[in-house]
Amino acid sequence: MNPECKLADGEVEWLLSHHPADKPQLVRNTSHLYVDHDVDANDDVTNTSTPRVIHIVRLESLAPATSFSYRVRSNGGAWSDQLSFRTLPSFAAASGLSLLITADVGAGSIPPAAVAEAATGEYDMHLHAGDMAYDMSLNHGKYGDQFFNELSAIASRIPFQAWPGNHETDDHFCDFLSFRARLANQNLTGDASKSGSSRYYSFDIPGLLHVAGIDTDAYAEPDYDTSGNGNSGQSFFVAEQYSWLENDLASVNRTHTPWVFLIGHHPMYCSAGGEDLGSGRRQNFPELSCRTTASERQARWQRWGDVFQGSSEGAATGWCYDCTTGAQMIREGCTNGTADPKTEIPSCGVGTGSWKGKRWGLETLMEKYAVDFYFTGHMHMYERSWPTLFGQVQKTYHNPSFPVHINTGNSGSQNNFFLGPEANFTAFRLARVGCYSSVQIHNATHLSFAQKSAANGTVIDKFDLVQERHQQLAREKETFTV
Ligand SMILES: [Fe+2]
């Protein structure tokens, strides 16, 4: 082994914050070697790369809802500052739960107000719906280093869980390399929730909430092999993930765990009108800009073949792919021209292999398992929907039958989207202001949501949701499918 590739040792020393007389416990880690993508800050290959060592330490049998102090070091070197974190409650039904939810956060753009709130103990947990550092791999991983160093102001204090966005796909030669390496700790969560993946997994906050997170890149960028042999790119991934999600949601006992959140990067419903990427980036990523010509976008998409057969991509003008065809793919799967989203089709026409046999649309699962919320990013604007399912809208947050969609994107770095025409599902939306979501689950039936300014924490939108029918909704859907 090359000497520079030798794995370093790491240690975490920890003890109960309020028992300094106790003997600190020392846990040593497992280490993973990780070599960056070999690209500079402009995403150009340089033929040099930097080895990094990722340390993962598993602390077991920690008391719930308890503060611990700790410090870390690598290879017998200097200790870090003394830090502290608080564990999740073992049964949140009595205590309630406070969640920080973000998406689309760049290096240098962690929302300052969220950092300040986390320092005061405002949140129990931080969930991130994809796109980190823009990008973790760039400049030989230094953007990723900066992002996680800055994120430690929050993630050193409370649990942090993330799912990948399109900026984690890293398409040079190894998909999701930086994401999988830097967030390899999530393999533990993946194993615990039977997904076996750090890209889609779930967990419970007992007594109150089940969170299932997925990787929507497989829908938004199918990347299948146009030679027709399938099982390349990400197309094979859709069926695996869908099957896991169905089993996962089916396993939730809504009497014990009333609330169910789904998290993914790409929205199912949104009304963005385009992204101002600047002329340089527009040239590189024409499919992301609604202001490029249809022929430019179509040329880009032809890289993946004619994935969206008969879709409006070629004809769309002045309107984002992500809020039309892309969102429809996530909601309904591949339609093959079948208008009714509940009608299954034997072959969806996207690639081959496991895209066959079903549409793989996620709204069927949202309905069947009475998911309460879908949190997303990707569109760098904030949008709150009315309860919406299969295009139907209920304009009430009192015992809704449909899920609420929150696009919490625009958390600080790239607040550069335009608003498109308002949609029938739109309850509130805001562009060009960095912001993040704060969710307070009070008990089994009552929840408060607030969208806050990234700069100063000012509440820019809020609503309360009452749901007294979790069990009934889940049971009704089960009955319907017998
Ligand atoms: Fe994105």
- Distance from the CA of 341 to the center of ligand 1, in angstroms? 25
Which pLDDT belongs to residue 229?
A: 33
41-62: per-residue pLDDT in tens?
888 888 888 888 888 888 888 8
Ligand 1 centroid, distance to 168 Cα (angstroms): 9
The confidence score (pLDDT) of residue 163 equals 97
Q: Where does the pLDDT of residue 36 fall: very low under 50, low under 70, confident under 90, or very high at 90 and above?
A: confident
- Tokens 């880009």 sit at which residue? 300
Taking the C-alpha atoms of residue 204 and residue 93, their distance in angstroms, rounded to an integer, is: 12
Is 95 strand, coil or helix?
helix
Domains and CATH numbers, the chain: 1-87 (2.60.40), 88-482 (3.60.21.10)
Contact 170, 176 (CB under 8 A): yes
Mean of the pLDDT values across residues 379-408? 96
Name the helix (H) or strand (E) containing 182. Answer: helix 177-182
Which residues, including other chains, have CB under 8 Å from residue 328's CB and lie 6 or more apart? 335
Confirm if 106 and 147 have CB atoms less than 8 A apart. Answer: yes
Strand ranges (DSSP E) for 171-271?
Answer: 201-205, 209-213, 259-263
Please tell me the distance between residue 89's alpha carbon and the centre of ligand 1 in angstroms.
32
Strands (DSSP E) found in 386-478: 388-389, 392-393, 404-407, 417-419, 426-431, 435-441, 446-453, 459-466
Q: Is the pLDDT of residue 428 over 90?
A: yes
Residues found in the chain? 482
What single-letter amino acid sits at 373?
Answer: F
CA–centroid distance, 288 to ligand 1, in Å, is 9
Confidence of residue 294 (pLDDT cuts 50, 70, 90): low
pLDDT of residue 306: 39
DSSP string, 303-361: GG-S-STT-STTT--SS-SIIIIIHHHHHHB--TT---TTS--SB-SSSSGGGBTS-B-
Residue 413: the pLDDT is 54
Identify the band that residue 429 occupies on the pLDDT scale cut at 50, 70 and 90: very high
pLDDT digits (tens, 9 = 90+) for 240-274: 899 999 999 999 999 999 999 999 999 999 988 76
The sign of the dihedral angle between the CA atoms of 433, 322, 281, 276 is negative
The rounded Å distance from CA 126 to ligand 1 centre is 18
Cα(103) to centroid(ligand 1), Å: 8
Q: What is the average pLDDT across 336-348?
A: 78
Burial string for 1-19 (b: 16+ CB within 10 Å, else e) reads eeeeeebeebbbbbbbeee
What was the pLDDT predicted at 183? 93
Q: Which residue has the higher pLDDT, 17 or 432?
A: 432
Take residue 456 and report the two structure tokens written for it.
């100063």
Distance 167 CA to ligand 1 centre (A): 6
State the distance from the centre of ligand 1 to the C-alpha of 377, rounded, in angstroms.
7
**Is 425 or 177 the better-scoring residue by pLDDT?**
425
User: For residue 115, how far is its CA from the centre of ligand 1 (angstroms)?
Assistant: 22
Q: In angstroms, what is the span from residue 11 Cα to ligand 1's centroid? A: 35
Confidence of residue 74 (pLDDT cuts 50, 70, 90): confident
How far does the centroid of ligand 1 lie from the alpha carbon of residue 432, in Å?
A: 16
Ligand 1 geometric centre to CA of 129 (Å) = 9
Ligand 1 centroid – CA 322 distance (Å): 10
What number is the average pLDDT over the span 127-147?
93
- Distance in Å, CA 376 to ligand 1 centroid: 9
- For 32-36, 234-238, 318-322, 401-405, which range has the lowest pLDDT when averaged over its residues? 318-322
Q: How far away, in angstroms, is 469 Cα from ligand 1 center?
A: 34
Give mean pLDDT, residues 15-22. Answer: 68
- Tell me the CA–centroid distance for residue 104 and ligand 1, in Å: 7
Q: How far is the CA of 412 from the centre of ligand 1 (A)?
A: 13
286 Cα to the center of ligand 1, angstroms: 14
pLDDT of residue 318: 31
pLDDT at 6: 52
pLDDT at 225 over 50: no
The alpha carbon of 73 and the centre of ligand 1 are apart by a number of angstroms equal to 34
Give the pLDDT mean for 150-172: 89
pLDDT for 22: 73
Does the global pTM surpass 0.85?
yes
The answer on pLDDT for 209 being more than 50 is yes
Angle at 117 between CA 116 and CA 123, to 5 degrees: 145
d(CA 239, CA 353): 9
Task: Report the C-alpha gap between 446 and 384 in whole angstroms.
Answer: 18
* The predicted structure's pLDDT at residue 246: 96
pLDDT for residue 285 is more than 80: no
Helix orientation angle between 142-155 and 112-119, rounded to the nearest 10 degrees: 40
Q: Would you state the pLDDT for residue 347?
A: 67
Would you place residue 450 in the very low, low, confident or very high pLDDT band (cuts 50, 70, 90)? very high
pLDDT for the residue numbered 16:
66
- CA separation for the pair 406, 397 (Å, rounded): 13
Ligand 1: distance of its center to the CA of 130 in Å? 7
The beta-strand segments (E) located in 93-200 are: 97-102, 105-106, 125-128, 132-133, 160-162
Mean pLDDT of 433-450: 96
Q: How far is the CA of 108 from the centre of ligand 1 (A)?
A: 17
pLDDT of 220? 74
Unique residue bearing structure tokens 């299948």: 224
Distance in angstroms (rounded) separating the CA atoms of residues 399 and 419: 29
Amino acid, single-letter form, for residue 468: E
pLDDT (average), residues 306-333: 60
**Band (176; pLDDT cuts 50, 70, 90):** confident
